[in-house]
Amino acid sequence: MVMAEGSDEEVLPVFPFLQRPLPRGSSPSGSRAGREAGSQAACPGAVVVDEENEWTEEPNILVLLCLEEFLFMVHNYKQETQGCTEGQKETLQSFVAHVMEKMPGKILALVVVGVDSYFDSLRTQSKKRLRPEAVNGDQAEEKGKRRKRKAKDSGPDVSRLDVEDALVDLLLQTNVQVRLAESPEELAEFVSMFTKAVAEAPYKRERENTGFSFCVENEGCRGVKVDRTGKGLLEVWKRQIQQFNRVSLDMAEAIVSAYPSPQLLVQAYSKCSSEEEQENMLANIVVRRGEGVTATTRRIGPELSRRIYLQMTSHDPDLCLDFTE
């Protein structure tokens, strides 16, 4: 936010993209005209403040589709897949294409509220219609006509499977995902999460730009604290063993239990009578997995034993442990 001169109030800067009109949605007839203003809402181009208090527009856009509009888009997609091409009716793909035409270079995400509730209400109405009623033939025929007219006016003929097909096709064709929320509270929570993720994205990208050609340790995996008495060194040694490719925690613990420090392992290598004995020295160490009746055992094996031996004794800094003969 920015402080207004001569005032304690905070004001937001005006950005041109906030004044851009959103594309119109489809009406039941398939046209874009006649829809009321406010049928769509968007969170376009989220703005992030950097360390120098400069405003930066991020490319992410979150568009809220009203339920009726979304269902008609799915219905129009269903008709297209069935070969019905009368008129140009709005589908999810055409809507996304129109938005991207108005806002090129943006990353679009859609959200709809109440889809599951809509289908739950349809199922409830269907159960009520199936209740036996004592009516004569003429009354039943007239009542059936009224139900058909009511069903036609209530909304498009789509099922959950139709919605899933349309969403999968949209994702495959445009790489745009649709979030289905079930309440205003869930929508508010998603918008909050979306905004937070966009705001933190620049910081995370900068953090990943380490300048190294390998993946360094992230914040979620903290280092081991070692005190003056040496407490913690065993854990450091175990994690060093785990840095070998295809080495699990159980395997590292088995090796560390047999040789609690690198120095003890090097001393054991020096007592071997041949290089072959050194390479296979760790091969028969037993690795135990699980507990009780589900417990299993295996051995370290000659391949890992040889890699650890090369790592501990080789003076070649360019030696590739996985491809040595």
Q: Is the pLDDT of residue 25 over 80?
A: no
pLDDT score at 303: 92
Percent pLDDT > 70 in the chain is: 68
pLDDT score at 213: 67
98-107, 213-222, 250-259: segment of lowest average pLDDT = 213-222
Cβ neighbours for 18, distance < 8 A, ≥ 6 positions apart: 44, 45
Across 41-57, average pLDDT: 62
Report d(CA 160, CA 83) in Å as an integer.
20
Q: Is the pLDDT of residue 23 over 90?
A: no
Predicted confidence (pLDDT) per residue in 53-97, tens digit: 677 778 888 999 999 999 999 998 888 888 776 667 889 999 999
Report d(CA 185, CA 196) in Å as an integer.
17
Helix, strand, coil abundance in the chain, percent, nearest 5: 50, 10, 40
Considering only residues 122 and 152, tell me which one the structure prediction assigns the higher pLDDT.
122
Predicted confidence (pLDDT) per residue in 288-324, tens digit: 887 776 778 899 999 999 999 999 998 888 888 776 5
Across 174-198, average pLDDT: 91
What is the pLDDT confidence band of residue 252, given thresholds at 50, 70 and 90?
very high
